[in-house]
């Protein structure tokens, strides 16, 4: 196993206004000094933005007393990002498929679906308040 | 960075999204288009040529706006999606709900 080349840990307030800046910061550190292609950058940005939005809005319900923990690791062959909120968690298996005909025109519910499509591996902790996403370098 | 509105010579409202369209600024886009709808505008083009990424909240805002525009007898078109952005619409099958052109000029040509 390769050692981590870059490790980023930060705590973000439960404010949607902080999501874009956090995505930018994590992506910059995880992709700096590497030959990251634009597709990898895009997939990382969107998946992380989705995970942070879920954590801030659904998990912490924008409670200013709660924060979101982000732990990211860059290895030579992959990037792993874990996002943890202080909410009660949820069951990811109960989220309906947004591409079913009856849900295509829904105005919400695509976040987890996009994460699963954009990253190579997704895991949740048992409580359902922490998501770990892995993107392999291709 | 930001969301900018202009008006095409043919009367369409052209909205350009510079930066991201995500949970933090989707309401700005909704307010802008809903305000134009309330002022009587019915033809809208949203151009993403300068957009970095869109999250599911941004996609949801587009679906919501498209519904309202259609209900009022108007039309909402999209343009300027690069390969990555277009993949989001294809993955979510939203490419079947929107008229998507490569460039603003193509989108406005027969508007």
Instruction: Name the residue among B17, B14, B5 with its Cα closest to residue B81.
Output: B17
Mean pLDDT within B8-25: 95
Q: What is the pLDDT of residue A38?
A: 87
pLDDT-wise least confident of A1-10, A122-131, B69-78: A1-10
Is residue B99 a part of any domain in this protein? yes
Is residue B40 a part of any domain in this protein? yes
Q: Where are the domains of chain A?
A: 6-136
Q: What is the pLDDT of residue A76?
A: 86
Is residue B44 a part of any domain in this protein? yes
Q: What is the pLDDT of residue A2?
A: 57
Is residue B86 a part of any domain in this protein? no
Between chains, do A107 and B60 touch, taking CB under 8 Å as contact?
Answer: yes
Q: What is the ipTM of this complex?
A: 0.92
Chain B from 40 to 79: CB within 8 A of any A CB: 52-57, 59-61, 63-64, 67
Split into its structural domains, chain B has a count of: 1
Rounded to 5°, the CA angle A49-A75-A48 comes to: 5
Between chains, do A106 and B91 touch, taking CB under 8 Å as contact?
Answer: no
Is residue B110 a part of any domain in this protein? no
Q: What is the pLDDT of residue A81?
A: 97
Q: Which residue has the tokens 């490569």?
A: B102
| Residue B36 φ then ψ, to 5° | -65, -40
Chain A CB within 8 Å of residue B20 CB: yes
CATH number of A6-136: 3.30.565.10
Domain of B7, CATH number, reads 3.30.750.24
Supply the pTM of this predicted model: 0.93
Examine the pLDDT at B42 and tell me if it is beyond 60: yes
pLDDT digits 0-9 by tens, B47-89: 999 999 999 999 999 999 999 999 999 999 999 999 999 999 9
Containing structural domain, residue B73? 2-13+21-80+92-105
């Amino acid at each position: 196993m390769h050692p981590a080349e870059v490790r980023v840990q930060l705590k973000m307030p439960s404010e949607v206004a902080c999501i874009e800046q956090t995505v930018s910061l994590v992506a910059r550190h995880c992709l700096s000094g590497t030959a990251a292609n634009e597709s990898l950058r895009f997939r990382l940005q969107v998946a992380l933005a989705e995970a942070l939005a879920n954590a801030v809005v659904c998990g912490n319900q924008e409670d200013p007393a709660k924060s979101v923990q982000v732990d990211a690791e860059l290895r030579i062959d992959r990037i792993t990002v874990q996002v943890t909120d202080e909410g009660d968690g949820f069951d990811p298996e109960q989220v309906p498929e947004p591409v079913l005909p009856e849900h295509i025109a829904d105005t919400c519910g695509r976040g987890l679906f996009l994460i699963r499509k954009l990253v190579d591996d997704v895991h949740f902790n048992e409580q359902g308040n922490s998501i770990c996403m892995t993107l392999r370098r291709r | 960075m930001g969301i900018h509105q202009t008006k095409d010579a043919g009367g369409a409202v052209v909205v350009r999204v510079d930066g991201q369209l995500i949970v933090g600024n989707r309401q700005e886009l909704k307010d802008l288009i809903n305000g134009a709808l309330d002022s009587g505008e019915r033809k809208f083009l949203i151009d993403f040529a300068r957009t970095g990424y869109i999250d599911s909240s941004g996609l949801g805002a587009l679906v919501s706006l498209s519904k309202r525009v259609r209900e009022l007898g108007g039309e909402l078109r999209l343009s300027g999606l690069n390969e990555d952005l277009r993949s989001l619409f294809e993955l979510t099958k939203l490419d079947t709900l929107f008229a998507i052109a490569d460039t603003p000029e193509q989108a406005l040509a027969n508007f």
